């Protein structure tokens, strides 16, 4: 898809929401996603990362993150990006605690990977001017491992339907990055960190990043009556 890289390079804004359970798997998947986005030409400053406690929170987080990007981009277009920061200052963040502004967080993605340990995890990449447009695609990343109760089945089903609903309701592509696993080993393999040396398997995060760029480009094309391949 030769045309995808150019679109991603100049215009694509991507949001990533990841759960914090099963941290080794999630961290590897996040790294793989960022690698694919950047390889496709997406600018580091056009990527926003947020985290939530678990996979059950992903649909809500994705929905509110997209709504926040609409608010912020609208404010930027009205004020030229100067006074719009205040509109997000009072919004409660996804964890329900502090008042986190998407425009004011560190550019950790620009350093070449996921947010560093100890740095703010709620967002990365967007500078002081904030988002200039709503997200073109969102990626939800989580890992559920089956236990001895029905918890796994209920959460898997709820999150799957929730993410699909957000995608259809907003019209924004939501990439399904939820691993539903029977064992931890399956997760390590799908994050590309299985085996003695932690280098076996395939990192599905790379597939999700590529899918986000492709769907973002096609979404723009469809809106303009074009069909992008």
As annotated, the active-site residues are 151
Q: Which residues contact 168 (CB under 8 A, 6 or more apart)?
A: none
- The two three-digit tokens of residue 76, written as one number: 């930027």
Name which of 212, 188, 224 is nearest 15 in CA terms: 212
Q: Which residues contact 57 (CB under 8 A, 6 or more apart)?
A: 19, 94
Q: Are 44 and 109 in contact (CB under 8 A)?
A: yes
Residue with tokens 């995608």: 167
According to DSSP, residue 46 is labeled G
Q: Which residues contact 129 (CB under 8 A, 6 or more apart)?
A: 76, 81, 103
- The two three-digit tokens of residue 126, written as one number: 């967007």
| Half-sphere exposure for 205 (CA within 13 Å, toward CB) | 30
């Amino acid at each position: 898809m030769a045309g995808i890289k150019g679109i991603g390079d100049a215009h694509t804004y991507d949001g990533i929401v990841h759960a914090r359970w099963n941290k080794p798997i999630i961290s590897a998947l996040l790294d793989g996603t960022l690698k694919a986005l950047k390889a496709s030409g997406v600018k580091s400053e056009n990527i926003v990362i947020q985290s939530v406690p678990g996979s059950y929170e992903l649909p809500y987080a994705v929905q509110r993150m997209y709504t926040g990007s609409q608010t912020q981009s609208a404010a930027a277009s009205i004020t030229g990006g100067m006074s719009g920061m205040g509109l997000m200052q009072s919004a409660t963040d996804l964890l329900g605690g502090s008042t986190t502004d998407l425009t004011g967080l560190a550019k950790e993605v620009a350093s070449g990977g996921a947010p560093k340990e100890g740095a703010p995890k709620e967002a990365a990449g967007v500078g002081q001017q904030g988002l200039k447009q709503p997200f073109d695609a969102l990626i939800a990343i989580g890992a559920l491992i089956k236990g001895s109760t029905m918890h796994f089945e209920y959460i898997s089903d709820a999150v799957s339907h929730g993410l699909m609903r957000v995608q259809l309701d907003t019209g924004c592509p939501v990439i399904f990055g939820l691993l539903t696993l029977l064992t931890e080993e399956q997760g390590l393999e799908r994050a590309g960190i299985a085996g003695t040396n932690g280098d076996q398997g395939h990192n599905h995060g790379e597939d999700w990043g590529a899918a986000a760029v492709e769907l973002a480009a096609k979404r723009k094309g469809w809106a303009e009556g074009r069909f992008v391949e």
